[in-house]
Structure 1
Amino acid sequence: MIPPTFDYLVPATLPEAIALLHEHGDEAKVLAGGHSLIPAMRLRFAEPSHLIDISHIPGLDYVREEGGFLKIGTMAREVVLEDLPWISERYPLLVDTTKMIADPQVRNLATVGGNLAHGDPANDHPATMLAYRAEIEITGASGARIVPIDEFFTDFFTTALEHGEILTEIRIPIPPSRSGGCYLKVERKVGDYAAAAVAVQLSLAADGSIEQAGIGLTNVAALPTRAVDAENALRGQQPSDALFAQAGQLAADASSPADDLRGSAEYKLTLIRELIQRALRRSVERAQGRS
């Protein structure tokens, strides 16, 4: 399908972009890489009359460690995360996730901020940011505010972004030593949305027990989901197959998938149970420096 007609606006600064959002209200959408929004427009799931392209605003595409966080500007391209060696070394979960998004052509243009701001529970970064306990910086006319990732996704395809606000930065707490993470995804074909996917981030104590754990789930509920009970069951325990199986069941219990073209609800629950166990094993191996 062809999207309806729209005005294409190209602000040169962030304040100008925010002013345009205020001017055009609910009829405007922010365009970053466009790989979430444009397909929705083609299907007429989204019908903005004004597109505000923020890709020409300087200073929004950084990736740096600062103040205890990995800070990712909203216009940072997926390919940048994929190609930076120090990101691969310190944030393997993030790189796993990036490599699962679509294909190299898409990742050359797609942005981390856009993947999150779209609010799609089938997108890959939401689960990963839940596992990392990330924070989201949102900027509007009155300045910037920080929203914990647990409070960012508020409803189906809906986020904490208010009228006239733009997601400007993602902040991931720098993981401690002896940390590891993993993103695993089952898809019908390469680059497709997940039938189900899991993100795991954990750290180990000196005695080898799991000190902290974060688990995010992709495309198994109306919202990106954290498996809080599974996280709690892992904390303070020595890694074992029995523990990982328990966490897998608890993660499945936190899910509410629907039957669709990617599989039945029961199939997706089976995937969650198995993927959690595999991701936990891989994350522990990485935390132990074995991979």
Structure 2
Amino acid sequence: MIPASFDYVRPSSVEEACQVLASGDDVKVLAGGQSLLPLLRLRLAYPSALVDLGRLPGLRGIEDRGDHVFVGALTTHDEVLRSAVIKERVPLLALATATVADPAVRHRGTFGGSMAHADPAGDLPAVALALDCVFVVRSADGEREIPAADFFVDYLEPALEPDEVLIGARVPVLGPGWGFHYEKFHRTAQAWAIVGVAAAVRRSNGTVEEARIALTNMGPTPVRASAVETALRGVDLAPAASGGTDPVGEACAEADDGTSPPADLHARPDYRRHLARVLTRRAVRAASG
């Protein structure tokens, strides 16, 4: 289909972009366009104008800042995947990004675009939630920071004001003893997740000291599986003997607590709940080694 008509603006600075965003109703930001363009073509979005940030300086790049890695909003998925800093310092982000769509999309799609699109079926919002990322946004009034727990407000609705631009995110670097895994169930390699699980597990002496679990596509926003995180503390990671109990599996049986999975052409809510429990157990096992 052909999109509805709209104005096109290519600002020369973030400040100019903020001014344009503040000047009109229903103005949308264009970064890589891999999520927005399909909505325009299907006429599921009717913006009055598009503000193209694609060539703005200073919004792309990856910096190791000690206790966190800063990822610029316009950094492409492919750049994230090829970054030695990401692989070494925040491997969970690399694991999840490797499952995003296909190489063509990863070369155009951006880290910030995926976050600001706030699709609960997207892979990266759950990672941001599990790692307690902090998003940096800018408007004409200056910069502010939004924790990941507050950033995803509702379905396709981030906590961005109409005149704000996402600059990037601070991704915390977790210390020694942590293991990571992203488990995703989808129809094809390029499809959205039916359910996904981002898991970070800190081990000590064969037990779980701390766990961070976030779920993809189990509600209108990514969901933190807090019941599993609590149940996993102090759990013995030794494989269960034949016929014995499986404390990891028992803890992960609470993965769907507090979720509201959608019903669509691909899965019913009860199937998604089942997948959340199974995939969380797999992700925790893989993250804990």
TM-score band (shorter)?
over 0.9
Partner Cα distance (1:247, 1:128) in 2: 20
1:209 to 207, 210, 226: 207
Matches within 5 A, 1:38-187: 38-187=37-186
2:251 to 247, 253, 269: 247
The answer to whether the 8 A contact 1:91-1:181 is kept is no
Identity, % of aligned positions: 38
The Cα shift of 1:254 comes to 2.9
SS in 1 for 2:138: strand
Where does residue 8 of structure 1 map in the other structure? Answer: 8
Aligned partner letter, 2:138: T
The Cα shift of 1:55 comes to 1.1
SS in 2 for 1:17: helix
SS in 1 for 2:171: strand
SS in 2 for 1:145: strand
Which consecutive residues of structure 2, in runs of 5 or more, have no partner in the other structure? 241-245
Partner Cα distance (1:82, 1:258) in 2: 30
The Cα shift of 1:238 comes to 2.8
Q: Which moved more, 1:257-266 or 1:169-178?
A: 257-266
The Cα shift of 1:87 comes to 2.0
The Cα shift of 1:248 comes to 2.2
Where does residue 289 of structure 1 map in the other structure? Answer: none
Where does residue 284 of structure 1 map in the other structure? Answer: 288
TM-score by length of 1: 0.93
| Structure 2 CA distance for partners of 1:247 and 1:138, relative to 1, 3 Å | farther
- Count of aligned pairs: 283
The Cα shift of 1:121 comes to 0.7
Partner Cα distance (1:184, 1:63) in 2: 25
The Cα shift of 1:15 comes to 0.6
SS in 1 for 2:285: helix
The answer to whether the 8 A contact 1:244-1:276 is kept is no
The answer to whether the 8 A contact 1:247-1:276 is kept is no
Which consecutive residues of structure 1, in runs of 5 or more, have no partner in the other structure? 286-291
Partner Cα distance (1:147, 1:159) in 2: 10
Where does residue 243 of structure 2 map in the other structure? Answer: none
Aligned partner letter, 2:139: G
| Structure 2 CA distance for partners of 1:180 and 1:7, relative to 1, 3 Å | same
Aligned partner letter, 2:267: G
CA deviation map 1:20-76 (0-9, x unaligned): 11112x321011111111111122221112100111111111111115111100001
The answer to whether the 8 A contact 2:64-2:85 is kept is no
The answer to whether the 8 A contact 1:133-1:214 is kept is no
Q: Which moved more, 1:125-134 or 1:36-45?
A: 36-45
SS in 1 for 2:253: helix
